[in-house]
Amino acid sequence: MERRFKMYSKKLAFSLIELLISLIVISCITAAFTPIITKKFSSGVFGGGGSSNGWSDECKDISPSCKLCYKDNCIMCSIESCPSGQYRNLAKCKCIDCSIDYGTDCLTCSSDGCLSCKDGKYPNGNTCTNCDTKYPNCATCDEVKCKTCKTNYKLDNGACVPDCTTLFSSACTACNIDNCTTCTGGYDLINGRCVANCPTKFGSTCTSCTASACTGCISGYKLSGNTCVPDCNALFGANCTSCTASACATCTGGYELSSNPSQNPACKSSPYMAVGNLMVTKYNIGDHPDLTIPYSTLTVSAGNNYDSNDTPICWKGQTGMPGSCDSAYGDYSGCNRTVCNYWAAEDICSKLKIGSRPWRLPSLNEASKFAAYSIGKGAGGLQLCDAYSGYSSTQCAYNWGCSRSGVCSVFSIWTTGASSLGLTTYSLFKGDWGEDYGENEFYAKSVRCVSDI
């Protein structure tokens, strides 16, 4: 702008000088020739040809627009302005293309020189010079500064410097044209490039990643979104449903945290579950680590007909008929269960120690509700046996080899009280519960204990 103003000032000054010279010349001519001007005007002194003094008012050989000339130079020109891309040449009284006198890269000009150039060049006197000659890696400029930079470069305090983000990545904070030299936090500089430091960027459990996401985790962890989270199954077993990095927090239905929730498996099968307003043991007494048989009860192997009146006895082992056992819906084999006589059942439930609650045998009415918590529940149910399969409950038909009568009725459970026919039990038979009458104390049945909630 400053240069253009100076050029415009020069142009204006030159025009004024031209006018002044013209006025002086006209005055001199008028003064000198006033006596004879009327005589000589038609004689050729100022007409076409050349006069002895070089002045002429017929300057068509120079330009039709020239009104007064001196020898071969126009002194008075009627052209006041020229189209864009041209300038007024007073001596020739013509509009001349800028490209003729100042080169093809010149866009606008004056008699003093080029005023503006094509992109990538700037006016430098009578020519256009490449911007990157004066400002390295500059794309557009003027005489005093670079305006824009070439691809992969950016302006920084007037200079074009490598654009690290474009050349390398958003993590590169300093670079030269060939290599990144400094990386942002969470990235390591490796061979001139910024590589995500996966543990720093996404946590110590992340082993591989991209710039925006973790893609691999250490053993015991799995991807969730862009980060690694504890893998319950891998760390603490299949029945752990939520956890921290160091311990299982919750277990699936039918399981509870063990005394050491940081071990694998951290969830153990729960020994009891809620049934209405009762807590009921999920397994037969003797079939779970927390459901122990007291020392006051004799334990023998299934198949042993050992019996004695008023003696609490339990039988452990294959208490179901071979070939009739089906554990598809249960948490443990329908044949390998513990059964006890009535004296053992009363003794066991009265002495059971799970928490601080007192335990007892269920009543007939209470036992009649158990089927709904067994059939179709699988490992999350009461684990009761059905006399016959096909009703989404484990089958374990009776076997011979327990007690005085030799019957192991694992699909029946002992209840409290007696009817007119004697002791009672409840049996699961083809998905339905039924009351048994006239049961003797020495029969071998399943034992489930209950406690009020």
Distance in angstroms (rounded) separating the CA atoms of residues 344 and 209: 62
CB 285 within 8 A of CB 447: yes
User: 121 to each of 103, 280, 282, how far by Cα in Å?
Assistant: 12, 92, 90
Each domain of the chain, given as residue ranges in start order, spans 2-20+42-118, 164-196, 198-230, 234-268, 271-452
Amino acid at the residue 300: V
Token pair belonging to 394 = 């484990």
What would the pLDDT profile of 10-62 be if each residue is shown by its tens digit? 444 445 555 555 555 455 444 444 343 333 333 344 444 455 577 888 888 88
Q: What is the mean pLDDT of the chain?
A: 82
More confident residue, 123 or 25: 123
Handedness of CA 320, 323, 326, 332 (dihedral sign): positive
- Contacts (Cβ under 8 Å, ≥6 apart) of 39: none
Handedness of CA 65, 68, 70, 75 (dihedral sign): negative
The confidence score (pLDDT) of residue 19 equals: 52
Whether 292 has a pLDDT exceeding 90, the answer reads yes
Predicted model pTM: 0.50
The confidence score (pLDDT) of residue 22 equals: 54
What would the pLDDT profile of 127-172 be if each residue is shown by its tens digit? 999 999 899 999 999 888 999 999 999 999 889 999 999 999 888 9
Q: Are strands 444-446 and 407-419 parallel, antiparallel or unpaired?
A: parallel
